[in-house]
Amino acid sequence: MKSESSTVIVAARIRTDIISGVLPPRSKLGEAALAKQYSVSRIPVREALRSLEAEGLVESRPYSGSVVAPSPIEDAEDLFEIRIVLEAATVRRAARRSAAQSCEGSPDPGWWPIRKEINEILAAGDEVIAEERFEDLAVLNMRFHFAIAELSGSLSLVSLLRQISGKIEWLYSLNVTRRGPQAWPEHREIIAAVDAGQRDKASDLMASHVRRSRDSYFAMMSEQRPEDPAS
């Protein structure tokens, strides 16, 4: 396994704490406190905070420190809308790359490791479903979508997806449960279309997949809070 720098580890842990709700919006993120908590100096903490700031999870003002950004819950609809377009684009490019590779004899060295990983993710998901450990499905789901994005070969789309996914995960943290295992088999249809190089089909399937995810989210929200969440 490749070892990561402290900065990346600290950023990941703070991100998790924000997204999971351990650190609620407007929480003060004191550098000294975080440094002590993670047993590092302030330098990696500061760099992590800069990353999170660029991701829109943290707000910073000079000489005033960093606080957790307001929750993106007001933007839920817009974020899903954007995610539909974005993920449809990633999977389309993935299918395109798949087709280009099958027809011509282009090497594409980065393709198969990721393609292999997707199979592992799908298998792990099936196992998790069989054992009814549904709480592990969320992270596998995210890994699947990121793997598809990497399959697209486009760094810009991956970094955009990272930003949007973070926010959408954050939305879900306000609820407890997730969309159940009935969504999982859809992943296989998507990757099948990618493998077949069917761009339009892959794109449409992904868009529908994300749309259902969105509808499930809003259904959940209206169950828990019958009143309109806006303001």
- Give me the residues that bind DNA (CB under 7 A), please: 5-7, 28-32, 39-44, 46-47, 60-66
If you search the block for the tokens 């990941």, which residue do you land on? 12
Decide which of DNA, a copy of itself, none touches 6; Cβ closer than 5 to 8 Å per partner kind: DNA
- List the interface residues with a copy of itself, window 136-165 (CB under 8 A): 154-160, 163-164
| Cα 191 from Cα 112, distance rounded (Å) | 13
State the Cα–Cα distance between residues 8 and 137, nearest whole angstrom: 24
Task: Note the Cα 148 to chain centre separation in Å.
Answer: 11
Write down the least CB distance from residue 42 to DNA, Å. 5
Helix axes 199-224, 184-195, angle to 10 degrees: 160
The gap between the terminal CA atoms of the chain, to the nearest Å, is 46
167 binds, among DNA, a copy of itself, none (CB under 5 to 8 A by kind): a copy of itself
SS3 106: coil
In the complex, what is the shortest distance from the CB of residue 95 to a copy of itself, in angstroms, rounded to a whole number? 13
Residues that bind a copy of itself (CB under 8 A): 2-5, 7, 43, 46-48, 50-56, 59, 62, 69-70, 72, 74-75, 78-79, 81-82, 85-86, 89, 93, 100, 154-160, 163-164, 167, 231
